[in-house]
A and B are shown apart, each in its own frame.
Chain A
Amino acid sequence: MVKIIIFIFILLLISTVIAEAPKYNFASIQKDKEITASPGDIINGKVYFFNVHGNRNTHVKVKVLEKPENWEVKITPETKKETYDVSGMMIEVEENFVIPPSNFSERPIDVEGLTAVKTPDGYVNANELTIMTTIPENSKIGSTEKIKIYAEAFWLGQGGSLDLKQEREFEFNIKILSEEYYEKNIPDEQEKSSSLITGAVIGGGTTGKIIFAFVGIIIILLIIAIKKRK
Chain B
Amino acid sequence: MRKIITFVLTLVALIGVLGMVLAAEQSVATQVQVNEYVSVTITPCGTTLSFGSGNPGDYDLGITCQSNSTAAISIRNEAISNKAIKVETKGTDLNNSGVIIPVSNIEFDEANSKTSATTLSTAYQTSTNSLAVNSTSGVWYWLDIPLGKGSGTYTTALYIKAA
Contacts and interface: CB of A to CB of B under 8 A. Distances in A.
B157 A165 contact: yes
Contacts of B154: 161
B46 to A, nearest CB: 7
Contact of A166 (B40, B155, B156): B40
B49 A167 contact: no
Contact of B153 (A25, A161, A168): A161
Nearest to A217: B11
Nearest to B18: A210
Chain A interface category by residue count: 35 or more
A213 to B, nearest CB: 8
A183 to B, nearest CB: 14
B44 interface: yes
B46 A21 contact: yes
Interface in B47-67: 47-51, 63
B7 A221 contact: yes
Interface string B58-93: 000001000000000100101110000000000000
Contacts of A34: 33
B152 to A, nearest CB: 11
B36 A159 contact: no
Contacts of A78: none
B19 interface: yes
Nearest to B23: A207
Contacts of A27: 37-40, 78, 80
Contacts, number: 136
Contacts of A15: none
Contacts of B162: 166, 168
Nearest to B37: A29
A119 B37 CA distance: 9
Contacts of B135: none
Contact of B50 (A21, A24, A26, A162): A162
A164 B33 contact: no
B28 interface: no
Nearest to A30: B36
Contact of B78 (A32, A53, A224): A53
A170 to B, nearest CB: 8
Contact of B36 (A29, A52, A53, A228): A29
Given A161-B49, A165-B158, A210-B19, 17 more contacts: A22-B47, A24-B44, A29-B37, A31-B35, A33-B33, A53-B78, A120-B37, A159-B48, A160-B44, A160-B48, A160-B49, A161-B50, A161-B51, A166-B42, A166-B159, A168-B38, A228-B4
